Amino acid sequence: MSHADATEDVTTRPPSGDVARTLRTLTIVHPVPAPPRVLANGERVVGRDPGPGGLSFDGSRRASRRHARLILAAGACAVADLGSRNGTALDGAPVGPLPTPVAPGAVLRFGDVLAVYDEIRLVPGFPRPVLEVGTSPARARAYALADRVAGTLLPVLIHGPTGAGKERLAQRIHDKSGRGGELVPVNCGAISGSLVASELFGHVRGAFSGANTKREGLFVAAARGTLFLDEIGELPLDLQPNLLRAIQENRIRPVGSDRDLPVDVRYVAATHRDLRRLETEGRFRGDLYARLAGLTIELPGLRERRAEVLHLFRIFLAEGAAGPMPPLSTAAAEALLLHDWPHNIRELKFAAARVQLFAAGLERIPVELLPDSVRAPDAAVAPRVEPAAPPPSARPGAPDAETLTALLQTHGGNVAQVARALGKHRQQVYRWLRAHGLDPAAFRPDEEADR
């Protein structure tokens, strides 16, 4: 998508102002990735050469000059094909000339161009996301919050599914914090209950059977740095008071010791669980939750960050490769985008590693190289079905196929001119054409030259 096409209404920068609003974006991810473009209300033509105010594609060989329309109104987005030669698809299902609703996270295909439509809510006063190539609006929002809070001592709770990249976000917070110590991760769900206290707070020699030497513990290891409490929702209930005390007082007591030690630690916690629900069920202390959730950052999984999928896949594909990897075919790229990635980034890495085994020397990566689970359609992605066109005789005065054919021939397939000749809205004319199985593109004599 060419940056030269930016207008007052379509820009890569979120609008200024303090009024809460929904940010709606279209991100071209294949074949030439581009930053997310912010969309305002109105109608925009997309294609290789869409004209003034339109959104143009770079590097496309199969998109038409004026390929499709995007229609945006308050709280709604729709797409309609403009008689393109290679068609428009929404989440893998063909789209015709009638406007079809587009949901957030939807994957659009314009010939060989793939794009992702997203919506996020902007909160007044919160930092605005920086929209760059390879980022989704959801991740950009999470990173903007992380950057804002990094230089403070406010505890941060990162909430998101397993494999979404929570530790990477914690590392970013630490790196931008300016603290001289290290980021020390502890997986609260992987340590046995009897050893958690020793792991966190350390122990003195002889504190328990097998404690032959003194151990400092992870709190001390994170001195002047950041302690990353991963999977905090798995922390045993009986150990939560000890952690709460350490966070409240910045002091710890090693197992077996009768003295407290001061600690200088910044806390970042992460969980895929609903801690509020665990609190209601009596499995997580409310006062500990309040101490950890100074600022909660939501980091959704790849299913809600589809605009990142191909960018990350290309990075993983290149890691450790003996030479340059071929580009993705459109079919392979679309399959990657439509997969729900239930195991998130870890699953994407394995898919890239599999493709890397067989892709060397190919001109393009075919869809057949992808894992079976990725090639198979996801049940959770329901195809968009356009409303059935009314039968030709549904309304009095509807023209027959012969009349419509003659008008299309006279006006060279220009539906707008046919609509004016009939004194009807062009959407009504499109319905009649669909009902009679007439394709206006077939009546355009300069179709080859223009597309």
- Residue 234 maps to which CATH number? 3.40.50.300
Q: Look at residue 246 and tell me if it is in a domain.
A: yes
- For residues 141 and 211, state if they share a domain: yes
- For residues 291 and 181, state if they share a domain: yes
**Which residue, of 283, 298, 313, is where some domain finishes?**
298
Q: Look at residue 383 and tell me if it is in a domain.
A: no
Query: What's residue 1's pLDDT?
Result: 43
Residues near 315 by beta carbon (within 8 Å), at least 6 away in sequence:
none
Take residue 197 and report the two structure tokens written for it.
């206290």
Q: Look at residue 384 and tell me if it is in a domain.
A: no
Better-predicted residue by pLDDT, 356 or 15: 356
**Residue 290: pLDDT band by 50, 70, 90 thresholds?**
very high
CATH number, residue 326: 1.10.8.60
Rg of the Cα atoms in the chain: 28
Whole-number Å distance between alpha carbons of 392 and 163: 53
Whole-number Å distance between alpha carbons of 320 and 81: 41
Could you give the dihedral angle defined by the CA atoms of residues 330, 61, 39 and 35, in that order, rounded to the nearest 10 degrees? 70
pTM attached to this predicted model: 0.76
Whole-number Å distance between alpha carbons of 38 and 133: 13
**Which residue, of 341, 375, 409, is where some domain finishes?**
375
pLDDT digits (tens, 9 = 90+) for 137-166: 999 999 999 999 999 999 999 999 999 999
Q: Look at residue 129 and tell me if it is in a domain.
A: no
Query: What's residue 294's pLDDT?
Result: 95
CATH number, residue 104: 2.60.200.20
Spatial CA neighbour of 179 closest among 265, 294, 291:
265
Query: What's residue 164's pLDDT?
Result: 95
pLDDT at 420 over 80: no
Q: Look at residue 185 and tell me if it is in a domain.
A: yes
- For residues 169 and 276, state if they share a domain: yes
- For residues 352 and 405, state if they share a domain: no
Whole-number Å distance between alpha carbons of 192 and 183: 22
Whole-number Å distance between alpha carbons of 97 and 168: 44
Q: Helix (H, G, I), strand (E, B), or coil: what is residue 271?
A: strand
- For residues 313 and 422, state if they share a domain: no
3-state helix, strand, coil in the chain (%, to 5): 35, 20, 45
Do the bridges between strand 68-73 and strand 76-81 make them parallel or antiparallel, or are there none, so unpaired?
antiparallel
pLDDT digits (tens, 9 = 90+) for 196-216: 788 888 888 877 777 778 888
- For residues 68 and 178, state if they share a domain: no
Whole-number Å distance between alpha carbons of 412 and 217: 79
Domain count, the chain: 4
pLDDT at 253 over 90: no
Q: Look at residue 148 and tell me if it is in a domain.
A: yes
Query: What's residue 394's pLDDT?
Result: 41
| Mean pLDDT for all residues in the chain | 86
Query: What's residue 20's pLDDT?
Result: 52
pLDDT at 430 over 80: no
- For residues 427 and 339, state if they share a domain: no
**Which residue, of 69, 96, 122, is where some domain finishes?**
122
**Residue 391: pLDDT band by 50, 70, 90 thresholds?**
very low
- Work out the percent of the chain whose per-residue pLDDT is above 90: 62
Take residue 312 and report the two structure tokens written for it.
């990350």
Edge-first strand listing for the sheet containing 21-30: 37-38, 21-30, 113-122, 107-110, 88-90, 93-95
| pLDDT-wise least confident of 2-6, 157-161, 355-359 | 2-6
- For residues 110 and 22, state if they share a domain: yes
Query: What's residue 426's pLDDT?
Result: 67
CB atoms within 10 A of CB 361: 7
| pLDDT-wise least confident of 347-361, 391-405, 415-429 | 391-405
When pLDDT is averaged across residues 238-264 and rounded to a whole number, the result is: 89
Q: Look at residue 39 and tell me if it is in a domain.
A: yes
Q: Look at residue 128 and tell me if it is in a domain.
A: no
Query: What's residue 376's pLDDT?
Result: 66
- For residues 37 and 98, state if they share a domain: yes
Domain that holds residue 408: 392-450
Q: Helix (H, G, I), strand (E, B), or coil: what is residue 228?
A: strand
- For residues 172 and 285, state if they share a domain: yes
CB 173 within 8 A of CB 156: yes
- For residues 293 and 182, state if they share a domain: yes
- For residues 430 and 446, state if they share a domain: yes
CB atoms within 10 A of CB 405: 16
